[in-house]
Chain A
Amino acid sequence: MNFRMTVATTTRVLGQLRHDHRSVALILVVPALLLTAVYFLYENETLAPGFPRTFDRVGLMMLAIFPFVVMFLVTSITMLRERTSGTLERLLTTPIHKADLLFGYALAFSIMAALQSLVATAVAYWVFDLDIKGSPGFVVMIAVINAVLGVALGLLCSAFARTEFQAVQFMPVVVVPQILLCGLFVAREDMNEVLEAISGVLPLTFSVDALKEIAGNADATGTMWQDALIMGGIVVGVLVLASLTLRRQTR
């Protein structure tokens, strides 16, 4: 690992994004807009007194799911371009270490994800009075971990796509099952046993669990930290797998 090369990579990836105003706008604004849609979706629900709004549950989970989906897509396309344009091969003839490249990417997109989730969380909190007991700072933290997970999976999946068209097709394979099984639509304990078991090993499940802890407790709980730690472990594991797909030599 070389700090200078990692930072150079982060600066370069952010520089590429900076020229692309439309993508930056989409990354920053779309989650907040969708959150607004979710809010109005449940606007007319009738609540028994003392019952939490559905928005407080679904809106909160959306805050963690957006950065995951967006960063997965952005990363897998960017990395695929890097592979097909020859810049990756060229980079790997230089002294850069694979870890510098991967962490450079992860850092750049984490910064974007942090900005994205700050916007979305601020809107949820101040415009729509999102009602959670814990600190919104922890919500942003979980959102950023989710974004890094999206980055890691995007880096890995780009190795299995030859074209951008194929890369986009990985979204239904990698992202949608996690959203279906994470506990957003059906509580995990109410699921079919097989699905529940599968959901128990999918990374997004841990972030939804962590968010429930944040929503229900004023202070950070051990379970939340444990969930965050497991997510971190999965991220490192996926990044290691992704680094195996970066080869200095090809046949």
Chain B
Amino acid sequence: MTPLPAAIEATGLYVARSRSKILNGLDFAVDAGRITGLLGPSGSGKTTLMRAIVGVQRITRGNVTVLGHPAGSAPLRHDVGYVTQGASVYGDLSVQANVRYFGAMHGATAADTAEAIAAVGLGSFARHKAADLSGGQFSRVSLACALVAHPRLLVLDEPTVGLDPVLRAELWERFAAMAAAGTTLLVSSHVMEEASHCSSLLLLREGLLLAQLTPGELAERGRSDDLERAFLAIIKAADRGQEERQVTS
């Protein structure tokens, strides 16, 4: 297979918000047509990085290029879908009205709307008011509002939080199918077991990129098949490294 050009490229990405450094100089590339996992403890800068990629976060220094254009630039607005951690939908509208409205920004048809709702398993709830749904259903409305646009890059911030195991598995299957069809997915999570669904992982900690590797490499480097343990081992190793550097300097 010929390697596709990278869907996302960041060089020297640095974001500071009111004096505190959130992202501390990141360099990485995300492959097109793959699922890339963005993993790290809460507060590590995952959401800020995703916001910088979709272009709603002002960048202090550095560059982010998405699908060949600067992040957030006008040509990308049809191609990048963003699902925030808290569902950004209208609670006082029906599921269908929500998806139809976001679809209208991309010229989506009624069939696209129905397809996106079915894709997140809410077909029988289409006419329900979003606010009346359960927490997990509500967050899936938000996902449907992104799917309806058929984005080339889909950025998902903790999409599986609050979902039961069956639904989680279904969503990961869907993500895999989308990637197989050429969509690039960037999915954040703080649940390490989900890392196994990704073809590449970005490990983020305190605004720094700890490593970019495959789940297999993570297990190997962390010396554990339990990815959570492997991740903790890598963090501990990084901390030791830091201390050693401080001692020697």
Query: What residues make up the interface of A, taking CB atoms closer than 8 Å to B?
Result: 4-5, 8-9, 11-12, 15-16, 19-20, 85-87, 89-96, 248-251
B residues whose Cβ falls under 8 Å from a Cβ of A: 17-18, 54-58, 72, 74, 77-78, 80, 82, 84, 86, 88-93, 97, 100-102, 104-107, 129, 145, 149
Collect the chain B residues with CB atoms within 8 Å of residue A16's CB.
Answer: 90, 92-93
Which residue in B18, B77, B101 is a CB contact (below 8 Å) of A95? B77
A5 lies within 8 A of B97 (CB): no
Query: Closest CB of chain B to A83's CB: distance in Å?
Result: 11
Question: Given A8-B105, A19-B93, A86-B86, 7 other A-B contacts at CB below 8 A?
Answer: A8-B104, A11-B101, A12-B101, A20-B92, A85-B88, A90-B102, A92-B56
**Given A93-B56, A94-B102, A249-B55, also A86-B17 (CB < 8 A):** no
A93 and B80 within 8 A (CB): yes
Q: Is the CB of A94 within 8 A of B149?
A: yes
Inter-chain contact B97/A93, CB cutoff 8 Å:
no
Indicate if the CB atoms of A94 and B58 lie closer than 8 Å: no
Q: Report whether B106 and A251 are in contact in the complex, using a CB–CB cutoff of 8 Å.
A: no
Distance from A167 Cβ to chain B, minimum over Cβ atoms (Å): 17
Chain B contact surface mostly: loop
Would you call A87 and B92 a contact (CB within 8 A)?
Answer: no
Q: How far is the CA of A19 from the CA of B105 in the complex (A)?
A: 23
Q: Which residues of A contact B82 (CB under 8 A)?
A: 90, 93
Residues of chain A within 8 A of B55, CB atoms compared = 93, 248-249
CB < 8 Å neighbour of A251 from B58, B107, B145: B58
- Return chain A residues, CB-CB under 8 Å to B101: 8-9, 11-12
Q: Is the CB of A249 within 8 A of B105?
A: no
Q: Could you list some 7 contacts between A and B, CB below 8 A?
A: A12-B97, A15-B97, A19-B93, A85-B90, A89-B84, A91-B102, A251-B18
Contacts of B145 in A (CB 8 A): 90
Alpha-carbon distance between A93 and B74 when the two chains are bound, in angstroms: 9
Question: Is the Cβ of A19 less than 8 Å from the Cβ of B84?
Answer: no
Task: Identify the 8 closest CB pairs spanning chains A and B, nearest first.
Answer: A86-B88, A8-B104, A94-B105, A95-B77, A90-B88, A12-B101, A249-B58, A16-B92
Q: Which residue of A lies closest to B79 (CB)?
A: A95
Residue of A nearest to B91 (CB): A85
| A-B pairs with beta carbons under 8 A, tally | 75
State whether B104 touches A250 (Cβ < 8 A). no
Contacts A19-B93, A93-B77, A95-B78 given; does A248 touch B56 at CB 8 Å: yes
Tell whether, in the assembled complex, residue B84 and residue A15 are in contact, meaning their CB atoms are under 8 Å apart: no
A91:B129 contact, CB within 8 angstroms: no
Task: Write out the residue numbers on chain B whose beta carbons fall within 8 Å of the beta carbon of A92.
Answer: 56
Q: What are the residues of chain A within 8 A of B78 when measuring CB–CB?
A: 95
Given A12-B97, A248-B56, A249-B72: A19 and B92 interface contact (C-beta under 8 Å)? yes
Residues B92 and A95 in contact, CB atoms below 8 Å apart: no
How many angstroms between the C-alpha atoms of A16 and B91 in the bound complex? 9
A164–B214 alpha-carbon span in the complex (Å): 46
**When chains A and B are docked, how far (Å) is the Cα of A86 from the Cα of B84?**
8
- B17, B78, B80, B105 — most chain A CB neighbours (10 Å): B105
Tell me how far the C-beta of A224 lies from the nearest C-beta in chain B, rounded to whole angstroms.
38
Chain B residues with CB under 8 Å of A249's CB are: 55-58, 72
Do A95 and B84 have beta carbons less than 8 Å apart?
no
A248 CB contacts on chain B under 8 angstroms: 55-56, 72
CB distance from B151 to the nearest CB of A (A): 10
**Which residues in A have their C-beta under 8 angstroms from that of B18?**
251
A residues less than 8 Å from B91 (CB atoms): 85
Q: How far is the CA of A125 from the CA of B90 in the complex (A)?
A: 39
- Taking the closest CB of chain A, its distance from the CB of B85, in whole angstroms, is 9
